Amino acid sequence: MARYIGPKVRLSRRVGVPVADIPKHTAKRQLTPPGMHGYRGRRLRDYGVRLNEKQKVRYYYSVLEKQFRRYLERAQRSKGNTGERLMQLLEHRLDNVVRRSGAVRTVWAARQMVVHGHVLVNGRKVDRPSYETRVGDVITFKEKVQSLIRDNMESIVGHIVPDWLEFVPADLTIRVVSEANIDGLPFEVNPNLIIEFYR
């Protein structure tokens, strides 16, 4: 399974938005371009603007290029607005659902929890971070990680769970109650620019 294992804060600095909701990524000084002095220079042209928009989304969901293209192809084949459908497919990834619920702090921690077999979907172990959750799915956790999740929840007090998810902290269950929307992202995304990038 391919994944990015390089420095994570560099991703946030490269695209200029926090790709993880932790202080290391959200600090204002960290959002300067990478390098000792930051990248000062040319203004982005149309290609660069579209590329940057695509990279923001890729980094936020921790998806590599080949897989991202597959999501885009699926979105183009399905009915409705391609941009909205692309974002819904990415939001419904299992690792993202675990991250958005507030059980862990980053998508990388959620991915590790899924890969190690600690996450159950409808009572069955699922170890693929890209597993697509559906409306009505119930996600639970094995007992051995529940204390870790409770510690994580204490460290991110004030986390807002999106309205398409229902998280019950008492028994650590997540229910997908509706189709995802992109209102809860920590930065603005224009999916139309992503689609234009691939044309």
**Average pLDDT of the residues of the chain:** 86
**Full-model pTM:** 0.87
**Mean pLDDT across the stretch 83-110?**
91
What pLDDT is stored for residue 38 in this prediction?
A: 62
Same domain for 42 and 108, yes or no, is no
Same domain for 172 and 190, yes or no, is no
- Taking CB atoms within 8 Å and a gap of at least 24, the contacts of 71-79 are 72/194, 72/195, 72/198
| Residue 96 DSSP label | H
pLDDT digits (tens, 9 = 90+) for 123-175: 999 999 999 999 999 999 999 998 888 888 887 777 788 889 999 988 899 99
Distance between CA atoms of 34 and 144, rounded to whole angstroms?
Answer: 39
CATH number assigned to the domain comprising residue 170? 3.10.290.10
Domain that holds residue 102: 94-176
pLDDT digits (tens, 9 = 90+) for 45-73: 889 889 989 999 999 999 999 999 999 99
Distance between CA atoms of 102 and 64, rounded to whole angstroms?
Answer: 23
Report the number of distinct structural domains present in the chain. 2
Same domain for 150 and 170, yes or no, is yes
Distance between CA atoms of 33 and 119, rounded to whole angstroms?
Answer: 36
